[in-house]
Amino acid sequence: MPSAFPENADLITRDLFPGVIANVCAGEHLTLSRVHFEPHGVVEWHSHPHEQVGVMVSGKARFEIGDEVRILSSGDIYRIPGGILHKVSAIDGPAIAFDVFFPARPEYLVPQT
């Protein structure tokens, strides 16, 4: 069984967008992704069939989910149903968010070339 505590060496790093990387690992049925935004980093509008839920860990970001918009900071929760367009923009400096996907996204766990 993999460690309950994935550390840096266990996490796959993915370049998502300019100024945005993710540290990703697998659960049993879920995929976990800790997303690190440099100042002004933006996850552009996109959607996927997977449900995505998460929490803002540190910093601030503007979340646009469907037709809703909020500025989130540490401890704020969000939930994105499958298929809903969303965009996330760091504001006022760097930021970290934590995402969980269901169903799992095994393609996320393949290192980028």
Binding site for its own copies (CB under 8 A): 1-6, 11, 25, 27-30, 32, 34, 51, 53-55, 57-58, 63, 65-66, 68, 70, 72, 74-82, 84, 86, 96, 98, 100, 102
Identify which of residues 21 and 57 has a Cβ nearer to its own copies in the complex. Answer: 57
SS3 content of the chain, % helix, strand, coil (to 5): 5, 60, 35
- Provide the minimum distance between the beta carbon of 112 and its own copies in the complex, in angstroms, as a whole number: 20
What whole-number distance in Å separates Cα of residue 34 and Cα of residue 15?
12
- Provide the minimum distance between the beta carbon of 105 and its own copies in the complex, in angstroms, as a whole number: 13
- Provide the minimum distance between the beta carbon of 33 and its own copies in the complex, in angstroms, as a whole number: 9
What whole-number distance in Å separates Cα of residue 22 and Cα of residue 11?
9
Tokens of 111: 């290192």
Strand bridging mode 31-37 / 77-80? unpaired
DSSP assignment letter at 9: G
- Provide the minimum distance between the beta carbon of 110 and its own copies in the complex, in angstroms, as a whole number: 19
Identify which of residues 52 and 113 has a Cβ nearer to its own copies in the complex. Answer: 52
H/E segment holding residue 15: strand 12-17
Identify which of residues 4 and 113 has a Cβ nearer to its own copies in the complex. Answer: 4
